[in-house]
Amino acid sequence: MSESIPASLPLRNDLIGEEPYGAPQLDVPVCLNVNENPYAPDPAVCDSIAARVRRIAPTLNRYPDREHIELRQAFATYLKRESGVDLSVDQLWGANGSNEIMLQVFQAFGGPGRTALGCDPTYSMYPEYARDTFTAWRVAHRNEDFTLNVERTIAAINEVHPAIVLLTSPNNPTGTPLNMADLKRILAACETAPVAGAAEGVHPVVVVDEAYIEFRNLGTPSAVTLIGEHPNLAVSRTMSKAFAFAGARVGYMAASKGIIDCLRIVRMPYHLSAITQAAALAAFEHTDEQLSRVGHLRDIRQQTAAWLKTQTYQGRPLEVAESESNFLLFGGHFADRDRIFRELLDRGVLIRVVGPEGWLRVCMGTDEEMARFRTALAEVLAEPQDAD
């Protein structure tokens, strides 16, 4: 048990020894570890947020709209623009970041006797959602290039009979997009698969986490385009990443009305504050400004990937996972990635130790931040290394 938790407290037995999730939050010049959009909202966006919050401030003695109808309509309007999909208000749902959306998914569809299936390597919070809801967590391993192994995934679906099949596109921490043909095969398998612990005729929910989808290459479709054909498909989105709104904590889900109504059962009363709703609506008024740097960050990702491939470690070129996100997984054969992380940190550059052994992850920052990252990494790689 953590030294800060007295042994006399009745912490759940399965939580004893666990540590809170979280990437390091350190005061360093260059923070490239949590996949944020490095560009602050424009002054016009800040003014709109302040104006909307000022308008609703006199009403803060009352509870907010617990169904957040106006915000759900804003989600629908945005997805029509972003992916060309017409969805109604009752096919959308918001929460405090996509983390809360995912927890609601596990609360609604998981629980004792239920299983969730993911494809690793993937986002490290998923097994924690499972743990916190007493849901079993199983994985089907991805291919060596981090693409989805469809045959292995379908075999796992037929073996463990999950209630939730959780896919990620682009995948975190690898940046790998989900091929739509692969997704359709998974959906087809789930539309006939049983769910352990559920009644006959119940089939798994397929959840696609698209937290980074706006950074995808042009022409890559979104899973939201399949919602009308697949009632058991749910797609999670966030305003934290491309929309440059991480501090506001706004995530949302697009799905059939049936899935949304399941989430409404488990949501806390008035879970989205009036201030959060006002801030999000103000941001959507400035969609162009909020997304204005996405194309540049996509270009920086491509340039950084090309540069990383020119660098060597112990005489071998660095590997770089193909990414359609705002981050890159690189290295592949770092014998001591923790040391490289520390030496970068000593130079004022914070990245992330995450994913399979031998790899590190860096998210895209401003041009100046990326220049400092390149300089620091080149210095670290140039230092003599012990052989494996």
For the domain that residue 331 is a member of, what is the CATH number?
3.90.1150.10
Give the three-state DSSP class for 365: coil
> Looking at residue 93, which CATH number applies to its domain?
3.40.640.10
Buried b (16+ CB within 10 A) or exposed e, 206-224: bbbbbbbbbbbeeeebbbb
Cα–Cα dist 272/66, whole Å: 7
Largest CA-CA distance found in the chain, in angstroms, rounded: 66
**Global pTM value:** 0.94
- The per-residue pLDDT for range 33-53, each reduced to its tens digit, is 999 999 999 999 999 999 999
- DSSP secondary structure letter of residue 240: S
Which domain does 372 fall in, by range? 13-31+293-382
Q: Of 9-13, 24-28, 210-214, where does mean pLDDT reach its minimum? A: 24-28
> Residues near 83 by Cβ (< 8 Å), separated by ≥ 6?
221, 222, 224, 225
User: What's the pLDDT tens digit per position in 104-127?
Assistant: 999 999 999 999 999 999 999 999
1 part of a folded domain: no
Instruction: State whether 114 and 222 are in the same domain.
Output: yes
Q: Is the pLDDT of residue 388 over 50?
A: no
Least confident of 27-31, 321-325, 345-349: 27-31
Regarding whether 153 and 66 lie in a shared domain, the answer is yes
pLDDT at 386: 57
95 & 232 share domain: yes
Q: Is residue 99 part of a domain?
A: yes
**Domain membership flag for residue 2:** no
The CA-atom distances, in angstroms, between 93 and each of 70, 100, 119, 123, 197 are 11, 11, 25, 22, 27
Give the C-alpha separation, 91 to 253, whole Å. Answer: 8
In a domain, 221, yes or no: yes
Examine the fold and report which residue of 290, 324, 358 is the final residue of a domain before the chain moves on.
290
What's the confidence (pLDDT) of residue 387?
A: 47
Same domain assignment for residues 139 and 27: no
* Cα(16)–Cα(11) distance, integer angstroms: 7
386 neighbors 335 (Cβ within 8 angstroms): yes
Residue 386 gets which letter from DSSP?
Answer: -
**79-91 core/surface letters (b: 16 or more CB in 10 A; e: else):** beebbebebebbb
Q: Specify the number of domains making up the chain.
A: 2
Q: 200 and 183, same structural domain? A: yes
